[in-house]
Amino acid sequence: MGIYLSSPKTEKFSEDGENDRLRYGLSSMQGWRATMEDAHAAYPDLDDSTSFFGVFDGHGGKVVAKFCAKFLHQQVLKNEAYAAGDIGTSVQKAFFRMDEMMKGQRGWRELAVLGDKINKFTGMIEGLIWSPRSGDSNDQPNDWAFEEGPHSDFAGPTSGSTACVAIIRNNHLIVANAGDSRCVISRKGQAYNLSRDHKPDLEAEKERILKAGGFIHAGRVNGSLNLARAIGDMEFKQNKFLSAEKQIVTANPDINSVELCDDDDFVVLACDGIWDCMSSQQLVDFIHEQLHSESKISAVCERVLDRCLAPSTAGGEGCDNMTMIIVQFKKPIQSTSSTSSQQSLESKSDDSSPLPEESESK
């Protein structure tokens, strides 16, 4: 059976919501995998004018994905750049902050809780037996890394997660991505990629990996990880002479900003379990077709998951965990010019298309 079950788990977690600016639906399914390692976050009202959506695809375990789903949006809000209106910088700092927070005693304890790490002798979750703040889940930046305990020297998890986040404030969409989960926008029915899959064989990724002392074998970092960017995976981030951006694997996200206009239909975020089976345009076409007959957006997501699910594990594609979020814009979107916005997405996007011209990549 290996990493696959004898039959897929097709039960789905689905959710719908809306506010005066948008409506969304999401769904996730374990599928053929032995465990569910995806997580997601959906906060249509992060604050008065901002919405936050994210998908997180764990590897080597579920805890880093769940950690990001729990804490990443909080860190975006708490960064001083956010208050100044610089969402791009705040979300970039939040990605790096995830790695910092997962170190030390406090990080170990939070991961133990999220991973349901049970002590077989006591029947209790490890790390909660003695901890003075076992019930405190709020981030306290000044003491997070300094909590005393037997795991104070914990270097962080060896497992990791992708992170693809879409933040919508008024008529601006900011996308942050590390890994191979993907964000795509539908503009007049055309699909445009707003993120780039960070694979080790991309030239910029390969250069950083080699400079940091790593290598690529069979398309994998050090013959192990098939991603060049991820949160967690601390074994690839141990060079004390390099900044976080320059490690073998980095949590540094690409940040892209797009001005929304009335031509924009929806944004879809999904883990690679979806993109392995459908191209960006194929998915956008399918969603449009389904939205004509289905008003519940989560039901459209569920149909995508069912369509992508493989009939057997023989081929590999369609056997992964699957998670996706559709965010549909309510009309009209207040924008200065539909024409100027269109110029930023000038070429139809497929899996190898360029990113929008107006995007800012960090």
Whether the per-residue pLDDT at 354 is higher than 50: the answer is: no
Q: List, for residues 229-282, the tens digit of each pLDDT value.
A: 999 999 999 999 999 999 999 999 999 999 999 999 999 999 999 999 999 999
CB-based burial, 128-152: b 16+ in 10 Å, e otherwise = eeebeeeeeeebeeeebeebebebe
Q: List, for residues 6-29, the tens digit of each pLDDT value.
A: 999 999 999 999 999 999 999 999
Q: List, for residues 111-150, the tens digit of each pLDDT value.
A: 988 886 544 444 444 443 333 333 344 444 455 767 888 8
Cβ atoms < 10 Å from Cβ of 358 = 14
pLDDT above 90 covers a percentage of the chain that reads 75
Res 333: pLDDT: 67
Residue 345's pLDDT band, with cuts at 50, 70 and 90, is low
In this structure, CATH architecture of domain 4-103+155-343: 4-Layer Sandwich (3.60)
Res 128: pLDDT: 38
How far is Cα 65 from Cα 123, in angstroms, rounded to an integer? 25
Res 179: pLDDT: 97
Q: List, for residues 255-268, the tens digit of each pLDDT value.
A: 999 999 999 999 99
How far is Cα 189 from Cα 167, in angstroms, rounded to an integer? 21
Average pLDDT over every residue of 321-346:
69
Res 316: pLDDT: 79
How far is Cα 57 from Cα 236, in angstroms, rounded to an integer? 18
Beta bridge partners of 193: 184
Q: How is residue 242 annotated by DSSP?
A: S
Closest CA to 345 of 333, 354, 336: 354
Res 119: pLDDT: 46
Res 134: pLDDT: 37
pTM, to two decimals: 0.88
Domain ranges of the chain: 4-103+155-343
